[in-house]
Amino acid sequence: MKDKRGFTLAELIVTLGLITLVVALATTIFLLGYQSFARENEQTANTASARQALDYVVAEIRKAENVSIASNRIRVDGEEIHHNDGTKRLYKGDALIASNIDDFQVAETNGKITVEVGVTTNRGETTNFTASIYVR
């Protein structure tokens, strides 16, 4: 009788091919999941930044003694809050309030100040956060 220990070359090639296929599939799934997580994480950070910026501006307006508004700029007790469209940053004077802010609008009508802060999602959709403050 012939001793049959080991594997044939064909069996080894088929096994190696199947292992390669499984590893490639697992790597693809992992990379797609990681990319999706990174996109959503970035969007969450941008949204949080816009909300924090809005909360900050509203708090500054509420505690201010003197508020004036002109061309999307707010002057709060002598310091200006403004948006730089080129860098997508919101400043109070020279101090950075928030980054990745795509839109900043402020308007005053009949004793009501409306502040709107907007960010753009990874899909190109715009998310706006709005607050209204009634001036005493």
pLDDT tens digit sequence for 1-23: 566 788 899 999 999 999 999 99
In a domain? residue 4? no
Residue range 87-119, pLDDT digits in tens: 999 999 999 999 999 999 999 998 899 999 999
For residues 47 and 37, what is the distance between their CA atoms, to the nearest angstrom? 15
Given a cut of 90, whether residue 123 has pLDDT beyond it is no
Question: For the chain, how big is the Rg over CA atoms in Å?
Answer: 28
- Helix or strand holding residue 27 (H, E): helix 9-63
In a domain? residue 1? no
In a domain? residue 116? yes
Domain that holds residue 65: 9-134
Number of domains present in the structure of the chain: 1
In a domain? residue 2? no
In a domain? residue 3? no
User: What average pLDDT does the chain have?
Assistant: 90
SS3 76: strand
Given a cut of 70, whether residue 82 has pLDDT beyond it is yes
Q: Whole-structure pTM over 0.85, yes or no?
A: no
In a domain? residue 75? yes
In a domain? residue 71? yes
Reading the block at residue 91, the tokens are 């400043």
In a domain? residue 91? yes
